[in-house]
């Protein structure tokens, strides 16, 4: 059985929920014996979530965050709402922003678009294509706007805010690397340096990527929903925010 407490709910109504995922925790179970994931913790506390999504092990979650990534995970308590929320997510109806620490100094806002994909079905990383790649690559259109927030001269890194309507797998990581500024500590996408963070025990990570905000119209009530997952204290202190 899971030995970690269920992460904090940012939203919890009769139809939807949002979880503040910490770093160092999978979103969904990686295998049937894996019980250290947000989905496993949700199913332990709310067994009925097994029927909320087409895949029982997803526990009603409609999006994923990487193991090292923190922030907002969205889910639904029932199948009908899950389908509506999933459609909203895929169509770009959920506006999302991510805080990221990049190598080097990003002096101005950068926009990048094209296609993201991989020629390998189980590839560990994705590539960014400026032109439509062959169908064998299984690429999808993706666009990001990368806005510098604060530069830390001492460690030569920049805290940025990345906006993207539809976040593909590894989109933020791949797009920042394509701009010549990989996430600090993200070895998979070319970082040659290490992220140094005074994080609480059990929350250290390889790189900093935080899904900090989401905005959308509630698929049932049609009311505007705005969610915020606050930045960690060590980020606020390090960049003097």
Q: SS3 sequence, 201-232?
A: CCCCCCCCEEEEEEEEECCCCCCEEEEECCCC
Percent of the residues in the chain that have a pLDDT greater than 90, as a whole number:
70
User: In the chain, pLDDT over 70 holds for what percent of residues?
Assistant: 93
SS3 content of the chain, % helix, strand, coil (to 5): 20, 30, 50
What pLDDT shows up at residue 198?
67
pLDDT tens digits, 142-177: 999 999 999 999 999 999 999 998 888 899 999 999
Could you give the domains of the chain?
Answer: 1-91 (3.30.2350.10), 95-214+232-241 (3.30.2350.10)
pLDDT of residue 205: 79
Query: Where are the alpha helices (H) located in the chain, listed in sequence order?
Result: 38-45, 79-90, 171-178, 233-238
Rounded to an integer, what distance in angstroms lies between the CA atom of residue 37 and that of residue 61?
A: 12
Query: 179 pLDDT band (50/70/90 cuts)?
Result: very high
Neighbours of 198 (CB within 10 A): 10
Q: Stretch 216-220: mean pLDDT, rounded?
A: 95
Give the pLDDT score at 172: 95
Average pLDDT score, the chain = 90
For residue 70, pLDDT over 80 is answered with yes
Joined tokens for residue 40: 């496993």
Helical (H) or strand (E) element with 9: strand 9-12
Is the separation of the CB atoms in 133 and 120 below 8 Å? no
How far apart, in Å, do the first and last CA atoms of the chain sit?
A: 39
Cβ proximity of 212 and 71 under 8 Å: yes
Q: How much is the pLDDT for 2?
A: 47
Q: Is 157 helix (H, G, I), strand (E, B) or coil?
A: strand
Q: Give the closest residue to 30 by CA, choosing from 20, 38, 18, 22.
A: 38
- What span, in angstroms and rounded, lies between the C-alpha atoms of 194 and 186? 8
pLDDT score at 33: 53
State pLDDT tens for residues 10-50.
Answer: 999 999 999 999 998 899 977 555 568 999 999 999 999 99
Which tens digits make up the pLDDT trace of 86-119? 999 999 899 999 999 999 999 999 999 999 988 8
Assess contact for 53 and 82: CB atoms under 8 A: yes
- pLDDT value at position 167? 85
pLDDT at 199: 61
Cβ-contact 72, 61 below 8 angstroms: no
Rounded to 5 degrees, φ, ψ at 67 are: -50, -45
């Amino acid at each position: 059985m899971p030995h970690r407490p269920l992460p904090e709910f940012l939203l919890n109504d009769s139809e939807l929920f949002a979880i503040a995922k910490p770093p160092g925790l999978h979103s969904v179970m990686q295998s049937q014996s894996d019980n250290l994931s947000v989905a496993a913790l949700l199913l332990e506390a709310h067994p009925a979530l097994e029927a909320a999504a087409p895949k029982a092990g997803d526990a009603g979650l409609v999006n994923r965050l990487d193991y090292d990534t923190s922030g907002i995970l969205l889910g639904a308590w029932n199948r009908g709402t899950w389908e509506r929320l999933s459609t909203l997510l895929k169509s770009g109806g959920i506006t999302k922003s991510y805080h990221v620490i990049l190598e080097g100094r990003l002096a101005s806002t950068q926009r990048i678009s094209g296609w993201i994909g991989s020629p390998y079905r189980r590839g560990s990383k994705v590539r960014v294509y400026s032109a439509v790649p062959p169908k064998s690559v299984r690429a999808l259109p993706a666009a990001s706007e990368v806005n510098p927030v604060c530069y830390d001269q001492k460690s030569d890194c920049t805290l940025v805010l990345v906006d993207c309507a539809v976040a593909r797998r590894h989109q933020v990581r791949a797009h920042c690397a394509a701009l010549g500024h990989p996430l600090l500590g993200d070895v998979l996408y070319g970082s040659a340096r290490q992220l140094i963070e005074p994080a609480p025990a059990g929350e250290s990570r390889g790189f900093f990527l935080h899904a900090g905000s989401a905005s959308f119209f509630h698929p049932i009530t049609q009311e505007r929903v705005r969610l915020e997952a606050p930045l960690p204290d060590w980020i606020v202190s390090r960049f003097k925010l």
